Chain A
Amino acid sequence: MILKRNSPFLIPAIVLGIYMIYSLGPIFWLVLSSLKSRQDLFTLPPKLFFTPDLSGYEAVFGIGAAKDSAAAIGLVQSLYNSIIVSIAGTALATILGTLAGYACSRFRFVGRDDFMFFALSTRMIPPTAVLVFYHVMFAKMGLSDTVSGLIIVTTFINLGLATWIMKGFFDGVPTAVESIAKVNGYSRFYAFRKFVLPMVRGGIAATAGFCFIFAWNEFAFSSILSTTKAKTLPVRLSSAMGSTGIEWTQICAAGVVLIVPVAIFFYLIRRHILMGMTFGVLGKAGH
């Protein structure tokens, strides 16, 4: 309805079509390559039709022919680490971000804007810059190469984003909600827990979704702070450039395994995502 109804459909179709090739072509190629055997990967011209070979996936999950092989055990362990670290890190960042976002939305305190900026800095800092220090700090605290250490880092990288997105959602809840609760004799905390939180359920889902994407895919921090047993899947993949050359099939299969949960998560919360990405700015600008 924003474009004219009778404007030609051709130009949008061409633009979207070209972009779709650029955007989805590599994804298609990733999926295709994850199913190829080593021989099929390097043929010229590349094969579109071939006998599917599941060795990449077998390696990632440590099943079939790859069962008990050293490489596969490493991959499975890293998959397991990835799951623990992302879920715990996402949960922590979402909880802390929700509390901080509520405070920033509702309370006027000294230095609130500075606090918001400070929070955003978690997203701005180049990992390598602070890693120089974390490396030392984690060693001193005995957190190097531990899953708990990675959970702390994962929480940290998402905290700013979680605070900002949640503040946007809380801004969208009228303050009258708390006023009414107050008049009825409920405490502020009770009002927050029983009335405000349920109203931003979608926001919490969107926040968790975003945090999960970044936590699940995080590489820079984990690559330095985990050396052997705490390695996450992305870190494990980076060492797939072994002595026998790059294990393309394994990388592609792991790529598919990595994207599936995120894509499902994204699909489930798709309705809240657009709303979450406005950081509450729309409410201000719309009128």
Chain B
Amino acid sequence: MARVEIRDLRVHFGDVIAVDGVNLDVEDGEFVVFLGPSGCGKTTTLRCVAGLESPTSGEILFDGKTVTQLDSMNRNVAMVFQFISLYPHLTVRQNIAFPLKARRLPKAVIEEKIQWVSRIFDLAEILDLRPGRLPPGARQKAALARSVVRDPNVLLLDEPLSAIDEQFREEMRWELRHLQKELGVTSIYVTHDQREAMSLADRIVLMNEGKIVQVGAPAELFNDPTNQFSGFFIGSPAMNFVRARRKGEKAALAEGAATIALPDNVMQLMGDQEVLLGIRPQHVATIDREAEFGCVRTTPSQVNSVGREHWFDFQLGDTTIKGMSQSRVAQGTGEIIARLDVEHLHVFDLKGERLRGEDRS
């Protein structure tokens, strides 16, 4: 187990910049998840840590020692791939033994380790089968067992659960999280699924276009996005964004489609420029009587109830705002009052950077 540091990592493939200056420290035993859309550089960064890709510039350090020049076989890392990481011509037992045999460990030790790992991962029944006969879930479990059996410095996981059925995936996620803590192995996990990231990570590293957008605990990213991209990418349904500009005492939304009263601190942040207001659908509700701040009179354009959650959409000019109410919203019955919870209102400049007041920090 080791502490992993990534220093100013850059990877260029010809003209394409895959990773554009990534800096990150992963603590010993920590579970870090790289999250981002495809092509954001998360997998390339992971492959650099594995030694499968050589960085254009920058450094990778394990426990303070640089490993940038080492190839993957000398880094003692373990990796689980999205599809195939088991050798198809070997049984699960032989697969697990493979890295140990390559290290010329004595037979008894290998056997002992296989027993140990098969107990943890509950593999006893499939030890002598070949991967081709196993369902994807069992295959990835065996692949995980194979990677942790030799005490790697760091465990790297490249979307390991994406080939598994939804139902089984939930279970695997829970198990993975549990085992990671029990084994205390430093882990880096790559995914594009924000729900997966939220449920697994100690810390999420959100990436976009080769750069780190925001790093933090799942709750931190959810509650306190530092820019428009984090707000948009984390949480489901996605955060609402609407253009706003000061108009007298109030603010005009979406080119004047509606005006809204906002508290002083928000008005100060806005200043005289046009900004983006971001708010999660969970923080847009309907109320019966107009409150002091954040209320808009509107008619819902679409209503959809899922269990106790009553989702509704309404239009402000070109912008659709999604909200969630505790009580049923009737469609086509005319005006409702939608209230934006100003406590959870985020202000971004038009470039997408979060505007923060001095008092809030």
Contact = CB atoms under 8 A, between A and B. Distances in A.
Contact of B132 (A4, A5, A6, A287): A287
B54 A5 contact: yes
Interface in B235-286: none
B84 interface: yes
Contacts of B132: 287
A6 B71 contact: yes
Interface string A1-26: 00011100000000000000000000
B88 interface: yes
Interface string B121-145: 0000000000010000000000000
A285 interface: yes
B71 A5 contact: yes
B88 A4 contact: no
B71 A285 contact: no
Interface string A250-287: 00000000000000000000000000000000000111
A287 B71 contact: no
Interface of B is mostly: loop
Contacts of A5: 54, 71
Contacts of B71: 4-6
Interface in A40-59: none
Interface in A180-195: none
Interface of A is mostly: loop
Interface in A108-127: none
B253 to A, nearest CB: 48
B105 to A, nearest CB: 23
A225 to B, nearest CB: 46
A286 B88 CA distance: 8
B54 to A, nearest CB: 6
Interface string B67-99: 000010000000000001000100000000000
Nearest to B83: A287
Contacts of A6: 71
B88 A285 contact: yes
Contacts of B88: 285-287
A1 to B, nearest CB: 8
B47 to A, nearest CB: 11
A287 B54 contact: no
Contacts of A4: 71
A285 B130 CA distance: 13
Nearest to B131: A287
A6 B72 CA distance: 12
Nearest to B69: A6
A127 B54 CA distance: 55
Given A4-B71, A5-B54, 5 more contacts: A5-B71, A6-B71, A285-B88, A287-B88, A287-B132
9 contacts: A4-B71, A5-B54, A5-B71, A6-B71, A285-B88, A286-B88, A287-B84, A287-B88, A287-B132
